[in-house]
Amino acid sequence: MIKAILVVGAAAAAIAASASASAAPAKGKPPVTGANCKPSIAVVLSGKLASAGSATLPFSLLVNTTGGNHAAAAWRKVSQQLSVQVTSATSIKRNGDHASAHLAIGDRVNIQARACKADAAATVPPPLTATRITAHPAH
């Protein structure tokens, strides 16, 4: 009787171990580009908003870029308006207000985001998701 319980218990443990081993993520370095890459560089863009904010998250902001840091060069080269994704994790500040709906067309913005280093070197950069947006009303 005790041997039967031990055999059944060992079999259940072996099945559980194999199931958890197959669900484990692949070991090694994460991919350098694409959806599963680990963002390693800070992208800082400045410019003026071409679209207003929204109260419903997530949404996309259109920005006419006028400057940025060295890592943002690929996104500054885009000839049209740049689309930046805004999520619930994005920190927004505009004159002491933190509501995304108060972002207005023409506001001067400083947008901070994270990106993969290989994506920054691409000729067509992937979309950015903002981590922080600081806005000031237009003069």
pLDDT in tens, 74-131: 898 887 899 999 999 999 999 888 999 999 999 999 999 999 888 888 888 888 999 9
Measure CA 134 to chain center.
Answer: 17
C-alpha distances in Å from residue 53, one per residue of 61, 102, 135, 137: 7, 6, 11, 13
Write down the domain spans for the chain.
41-136
Q: What is the mean pLDDT of residues 15-34?
A: 63
pLDDT of residue 59: 94
Q: In whole angstroms, what is the distance from residue 129 CA to residue 103 CA?
A: 16
pLDDT of residue 113: 96
Weakest-pLDDT range from 9-18, 82-91, 130-139: 9-18
pLDDT in tens, 48-72: 999 998 889 999 999 999 999 999 9
C-alpha distances in Å from residue 92, one per residue of 116, 129, 138: 23, 13, 17
41-136 carries CATH number 2.40.50.320: yes
